[in-house]
């Protein structure tokens, strides 16, 4: 858990063991995505101040899907900032304290007053464009419950087979064939797998995610110029 002062942040760990890898060439940045699960998936459009991002929400994570749709329908996300942005990693938003936040204000600790039980599903992994829930760290949150509102969209980078094999040894869990193929072609953040709930996938607007990830940031990885959610529209 990343902490600043007395704030308990719902965050995403950029694990130190992978910082060396993160400094390497990021490689291919094409806009392909893993095949989405079958069924008529709920789609939402995240309208941001830098463009629109369309996301399909997985039926395999119904608690997160329904909570996200509920909050979006209530206008909860309207006006909230992308308060934590790390190029080559992810963009994070959903803190209600970020609405109308003054420059330099510490952000990342807010939520709707509840958390969501983890729905970490095998086969849903952190490839580029994955939508996942932020959470507090294992030390205070051993059940890996998700923030009730904060989420991130993966940018990540392309990984080599050798890097993934080394990661498998370190974590003691092999990547599936589908995950390995995605991480070596499309890219993502494989070190987050099995630790955070992935509950959706960008199907359009990954270029907007890339533009947000590329903005200048200051303290606590907050963009120097605010990038906000205008509204989230539910398509079906």
- Looking up tokens 């959470």 gives 135
Q: Give the pLDDT of residue 11.
A: 77
Intervals of the chain under pLDDT 50:
1-7, 14-34
Residue whose tokens read 């993934």: 164
DSSP class of residue 41 equals: -
Per-chain mean pLDDT for the chain = 88
Between CA 71 and CA 31 the distance in angstroms is 28
Q: Are 52 and 182 in contact (CB under 8 A)?
A: no
Residue 123: Cβ within 10 Å count: 12
Of residues 115, 210, 102, the one with CA closest to residue 153: 210
- pLDDT at position 33: 43
Instruction: Give dist(CA 72, CA 122) in Å, integer.
Output: 26
Which pLDDT belongs to residue 196?
A: 98
Q: What whole-number distance in Å separates Cα of residue 52 and Cα of residue 54?
A: 7
Query: Residue 212 to residues 11, 58, 65, 174, 188: CA-CA distances in angstroms?
Result: 18, 24, 24, 32, 16
- Beta pairing partners, 46: 53, 232
Say how far apart CA 132 and CA 151 lie, in whole Å.
6
CATH architecture, domain defined by 40-195+202-234: Beta Barrel (2.40)
What's the predicted TM-score (pTM) here? 0.88
Domain ranges of the chain: 40-195+202-234
pLDDT recorded at residue 29: 36
pLDDT reported for residue 129 = 98
pLDDT in tens, 205-226: 999 999 999 999 999 999 999 9
Distance between alpha carbon 164 and the CA centroid of its chain, in Å?
20
């Amino acid at each position: 858990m990343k902490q600043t002062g007395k704030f308990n942040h719902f965050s995403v760990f950029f694990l130190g063991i992978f910082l060396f890898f993160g400094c390497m060439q990021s490689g291919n940045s094409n806009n392909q995505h893993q095949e989405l699960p079958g069924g008529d998936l709920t789609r939402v459009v995240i309208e941001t101040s830098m463009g629109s991002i369309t996301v399909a929400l997985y039926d395999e994570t119904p608690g997160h899907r329904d909570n996200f749709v509920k909050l979006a329908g209530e206008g909860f996300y309207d006006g909230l900032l992308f308060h934590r942005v790390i190029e080559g990693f992810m963009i994070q938003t959903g803190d209600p304290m970020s609405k109308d936040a003054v420059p330099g204000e510490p952000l990342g600790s807010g939520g709707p007053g509840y958390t969501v039980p983890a729905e970490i599903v095998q086969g849903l992994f952190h490839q580029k464009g994955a939508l996942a829930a932020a959470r507090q760290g294992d030390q205070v949150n051993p059940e890996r419950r998700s923030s009730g509102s904060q989420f991130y969209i993966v940018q990540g980078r392309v990984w080599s087979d050798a890097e993934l094999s080394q990661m498998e040894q370190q974590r003691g869990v092999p990547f599936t064939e589908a995950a390995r193929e995605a991480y070596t072609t499309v890219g993502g953040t494989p070190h987050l797998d099995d630790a955070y709930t992935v509950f959706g996938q960008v199907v359009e607007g990954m270029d907007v995610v890339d533009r947000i990830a590329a903005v200048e940031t200051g303290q606590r990885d907050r963009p120097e110029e605010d990038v906000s959610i205008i509204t989230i529209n539910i398509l079906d």
